[in-house]
Amino acid sequence: MLKKTLTKLSLTQRLLVGAMLWVFCSLLVAGALLNQLFQQHIEEQLHKELNMHMMQLIAQMTLDPAGQLGLSQALNDPRFEQPLSGLYWQVDVSSQPLLFSHSLWDETLTPPHSQINKETWFRYKDPELGELYVIGRSIVLAEPSHVQRYQVWVAAQKSWIAEPLQRFVWMLVLTLAVLGCVLVVGVWWQLKLGLRPLRQLRQRLAAVHEGRANFIDGQYPQEIQPLVSEFNRVLRSQAQVTERARTQAGNLAHAIKTPLAVLANAAKKPDPQLAQLVLKQIHAAQEQVDYHLSRARVAAAVKTVGVRTEILPALHSLVKLLQRAYEPKPVQVELLSEQKELYFKGEAQDLHEMLGNVLDNAFKWCETRVQVQVQRAEALGRPNALKITIDDDGKGIDTSAYPRIFQRGVRADEVAPGSGLGLAIVADLVLLYGGNIEAMRSPLGGLRIEIYFP
């Protein structure tokens, strides 16, 4: 029930309720401690006062020549002379009252026997006088002809400290209540100021949702700024995806415009080779459609957050597929990797598209050997980067053709079948993923393709 109630509260309300509970508990504990400390303090003050009266009483005690106990003069505090004033003294001999203050009137102090004949400070409840704080001491008075032990008591009623303690408690409760209200108001104001950036963020998000802004602008505290930066990155990625989709749609429309125009013109002329021309132009249009649709799909998916694909399983499946496709050509493939778990930050379909085209090219032109190496590029000065190298032992191509093989429609060998789009698609995909691709002479003698991913 409490959990359901808390889930319905806003963040401000949750923090405020938590702060109020903390303030209440803290003030409650502080009040109890202060009350205990004040009680100990006034008890210590009472003990000091009673001890002072005790010392004065002992100093005034004398024995006459007959051995009778008396006081040389009365004690200074007039409350000892006022009946039942709450301040008393008494001198016992053999547990029997011998001398006592006028304030006792016709009562006597009857402390527990366990407190007799020792210096003590205790509290007990007298049947007639109520609760008392008592200080006691055993003394010996000696005369040449007489030696006697006396028990001296000085007592004060508990009401002496109960009344000031009660006044203190009321003042303490009032003070802590005011302090609690001030703290709660302060916490509320602090929460209002502290959560203001979240309210501003909500307004900026609403502006983005309503189309009044493209991104979340403004500066935010360091706890929120990373969230804002990541969200802006997502918004920019979405804007780029939209722009790329529009561009690809325009490119696709422009690319198929020429084959359609050729077909339209050919349809107006009686030509026996019309069927061959139609098939050729349809094939060209299909290649353009496949190329631009592939780019459009990748443009939409390349910035997908949290998607990754394990590289080695993808390579193993591609190698098996190509070995079956190129049978009976004996192609030996070496897969080299320092780590077993290496991931490409993108979709599996895109990884298969890129590696499949490069491996297909290597299988096509190699003699008998293809080598694939996957490694992290930290050692190469590229932190968090991934490097994939594919070599073949074929004849290779002229070094001047290295930059051109990644251009659309360019083929290094015009005799072999193909459209010239394979490596161009790979290059476009690599660039869309923020990487780069290079061609160079392979140590095996053929062509080496190096692909870097951030």
- Is residue 257 domain-shared with residue 350, that is, in the same domain? no
Q: What integer is the mean pLDDT of 174-188?
A: 91
pLDDT of residue 433: 82
Percent of the chain residues past pLDDT 70, beyond the cut? 76
Q: Which of 391, 318, 310 is nearest to 353 (CA)?
A: 318
CATH number, domain at 353?
3.30.565.10
Mean pLDDT of 383-403: 86
pLDDT, average across residues 297-302: 55
Q: Is the model's pLDDT at 37 over the cut of 50?
A: yes
Average pLDDT for 224-232: 82
**pLDDT of 1 higher than 60:** no
Rounded to whole angstroms, the Cα distance separating 64 from 72 reads 10
Is 323 among the domain residues?
yes
Number of separate domains in the chain: 3
CATH number of the domain that residue 65 is part of:
3.30.450
| Of the listed ranges 89-103, 244-258, 310-324, the one predicted with least confidence | 244-258
pLDDT at 358: 92
> Which pLDDT does position 32 carry in this prediction?
92
* Mean pLDDT computed over 321-350: 86
* Alpha-carbon span 2 to 22, nearest angstrom: 17
pTM above 0.75, yes or no: no
Structure confidence at residue 420 (pLDDT): 46
For residues 365 and 331, the answer to whether their CB atoms sit within 8 Å is no
Do 355 and 244 lie in one domain? The reply is no
Range from 152-156, 278-282, 293-297, 438-442 carrying the lowest mean pLDDT: 293-297
* pLDDT reported for residue 170: 93
Last residue of a domain, one of 160, 177, 209: 160
Q: Does the pLDDT value for residue 297 go beyond 60?
A: no
Cis peptide before 328 (omega within 30 of 0): yes
**Mean pLDDT in the chain?**
80
Query: Residue 25 domain-assigned?
Result: no
Decide which of 138, 160, 182 is a domain's last residue.
160
